[in-house]
Structure 1
């Protein structure tokens, strides 16, 4: 195995600091990073920058890259992906929480109301999707995944082209004086709304939802018997705890929806097919969309961000709000996965943390570039196209990866039909 650049740096540091020789040698032995993993890291950095600019976690790109380029097994790649998505979404959320948009009256781009009404159903949907993933044959999952992503990518591209056309018409209508006046008004609005207000109550409710579902996942464990308490895999206790998620999601969603008088209306301001104007927020739409995204995410084995992002665009949420809100929701689901991997005995956690930090930086880079481009050219459609690029690449990579796995299963004589969940 060839020594990577990172390993060389560790060895150099060891020579220059003899007192830390034992510790750094131990780190080098534990990491055991080769050039293939470094190459995978570079590719994942680029993928994270593009993905998080559109509010997508990037798991659909990370897992194939880590398995094909770095040669990691699927279980290890999935655990790494959870940390990488967490790092990228954390940077995205921090960035958006500290900024205000003059386009939406100086409000935050994160729609906390959508997140509140959607998160319980999304977490429930993930559990339902995971069970379906265990039951359905691999070939059927691959075919359905390819069809759904192909359809979703096509719809997202059409929305992007439509939004681009509308933006072009607006730019042509503006003369120089109007543009200067608008910029002055934006500066005044930004100054008036410079004070950042964080909705701590909503964040506490979201944290309560997260802790409730995380406690169930941790107590239940997985089908292999990995749990913090002794429990028979797929026994009565396992299925009882799994079923508790249904009333939990219903109670949280009902409480959020019926106690909140109105959701923020941050929809697209342009008229046209597929773009809504002055749309009255439908409180039931977002939980249903989140439930569908969660089921599909768990069923296909990817994060819900790649699915909830285009679905929110379809119901008329503005691209900037969609990207910020989607990343905010992804943070809760990805941290849940990352903590579960840690508490259930994950290996190579040092490398996972390095990849997570790398994606944190990549996310900030991608966000900065896209935000500057939007400010300079006045085209929020760049976010939609960023989503389309990630989804297109994910469709190709994940479908190819799934087809290879199905072929291997077929050659090895494994069952190609429906299975029991345990």
Structure 2
């Protein structure tokens, strides 16, 4: 009988220890209070404005939040990163709530969020972020700063170039519509009779084939799959521990168990991606596509999104920012419309940022109340920014405003984060610290 009771006692003891561990972390977080100063208030206003600009482009804004909180408010990098995770989550919640119900006349009044792109991208993006975080701990700061400056400068240039192209295309379309309107008036006034036949606009085939899954009704199945993916990766993160090696179970930092848990993410991402591809392949709507060329194009296009998401997530983990800022220019480059890109990126950012916020919350962080206040500010700022941009798009027909918003945020992030990183590199060099490659943990 005693032998049979040991596993039960051990389970109860373990659960009590885990419960006590979580209580201690929350107690430590509540014991620290953030002093409200003029610098904190100014940083709050700047973050509010940054959230309103970032939400228009569907990117999180962490590239602006972290420098503002570090330089203006004087937060250390760890506190600024934890605040940024909550702020990006607050802004993305506002964007997702709006984009779930906003429809576009240009896209047959379909919901702007493309859940297929989000499903194909999310597993590989989460895997890329995890690998990027490991590389961040191994790469020297000067190398990360140079890579960040070069990549974001290139992305900013390509994004602004895309914005100019969209702007010119919209201007030509506006002139063409005015000409057709004038021509129709002449036909009606002249009583020439006959029906006016509208010209073929040369509608481009979407990259993911026919967009069947973006009706106004909510896709519960796809959302449920995303939630399963989120919980799967989140559970591995909790068991493995965060960058400070805090875990809910006793595990040796950088030990065998740590790397085994980390390696589980690779087959997990592959299994989820294959599962999603098979579900998409067996979708009855997809079987309506005819022709070997269309099917081959669909297969090649599907694999492009996981690759882009993995690259964006890995670079985001290396640079210490969200993947939304990096995948948004990539989606624009492959021909996804600006409105769909912004809505889809904000939806993907919600899952990645909320995972980071929950990790900070459960594994112990200070100033939770202040972080929630900053998150509410970003929520309100994002709502205002989204309403202003969508009103401008409806009035002027300029979806390119979204592209320019992304380019503006990326340009500011390039300058701020590069300058911030260069200052840190110089301080390390002046202090005589080691400037080479390190162990990942």
Query: Could you say which TM-score interval applies, normalised by the shorter chain?
Result: 0.7 to 0.9
* Structure 2 counterparts to residues 160-309 of structure 1, below 5 A: 160-175=163-178, 178=181, 196-261=216-281, 282-309=301-328
Q: In 2, are the aligned partners of 1:222 and 1:233 still within 8 Å (CA)?
A: no
The count of corresponding residues between Structure 1 and Structure 2 is: 370
Pairwise mapping of residues 351-366 of structure 1 onto structure 2 (< 5 A)? Answer: 351-366=370-385
Distance in 1 between residues matched to 2:171 and 2:305, nearest whole Å: 30
Match of 1:158 among 150, 158, 161: 161
Counterpart-to-counterpart distance in 2, 1:297 and 1:178: 47
CA deviation string 1:154-188 (max 9, x = no partner): 00010000110111111111128749x9xxxxxxx
- In the TM superposition, residue 223 of structure 1 has moved relative to its aligned partner by 4.7
Matching residue of 1:189: none
The answer for unaligned runs of 5 or more in structure 2 is 1-29, 185-214, 287-296
Deviation, structure 1 residue 108: 0.8
Structure 1: how far apart are the matches of 2:363 and 2:92?
23
Based on CA coordinates, which of the two structures has the bigger radius of gyration? Answer: 2
In 2: Cα distance, 1:290 partner to 1:142 partner: 21
Partner in structure 2 of residue 91 of structure 1: 94
Deviation at 1:33, TM superposition (A): 1.1
Equivalent residues of 1:223, 1:234 under 8 A apart: no
Paired with 1:29 and 1:231, the residues of 2 have a C-alpha distance of 27
User: CA–CA distance in 2 between the matches of 1:318 and 1:132?
Assistant: 33
Aligned CA distance change for structure 1 residues 81 and 340 (closer, same or farther; 3 Å): same
Once the two structures are superposed, what CA deviation does each residue of 1:346-369 show, in whole Å capped at 9, x if it has no partner? 100000000001100000000000
Contact 2:115 2:344 in 1 (8 A): yes
1:103 positional shift? 1.4
Which structure 1 residue ranges, 5 or more long, are not aligned?
A: 1-26, 182-194, 266-278
Separation (CA, whole Å) in 1 of partners of 2:408 and 2:245: 39
- The offset of 1:334, in angstroms, is 0.2
**Distance in 2 of aligned mates of 1:356 and 1:262:** 41
Aligned position for 2:360: 341
Superposition deviation, residue 323 in structure 1: 0.2
Distance (whole Å) between structure 2 residues aligned to residue 325 and residue 77 of structure 1: 26
For CA contacts below 8 A with separation 6 or more, give which structure has more relative contact order: 2
Say yes or no: does 1:77 pair with 2:80.
yes
Aligned to 2:140: 137
1:116-135 alignment runs, 5 A limit: 116-135=119-138
Match of 1:384 among 403, 415, 418: 403
How far does the alpha carbon of each residue in 1:162-219 deviate from its partner, in whole angstroms, 9 at most, with x for none?
110111111111128749x9xxxxxxxxxxxxx9410001111000000000000000
Separation in structure 2 between the aligned mates of residue 54 and residue 354 of structure 1, nearest angstrom: 23
Q: Aligned to 1:284, what secondary structure does the other structure show?
A: helix
Contact 1:224 1:233 in 2 (8 A): no
- 2:110–2:216: 8 Å Cα contact kept in structure 1? no
Counterpart residue number, 2:71: 68
1:22 aligns with none
1:224 Cα deviation after fit: 3.3
Partner Cα separation in structure 1 for residue 97 and residue 262 of structure 2: 32
Q: Which moved more, 1:27-36 or 1:120-129?
A: 27-36
Shift in Å, 1:259:
1.9
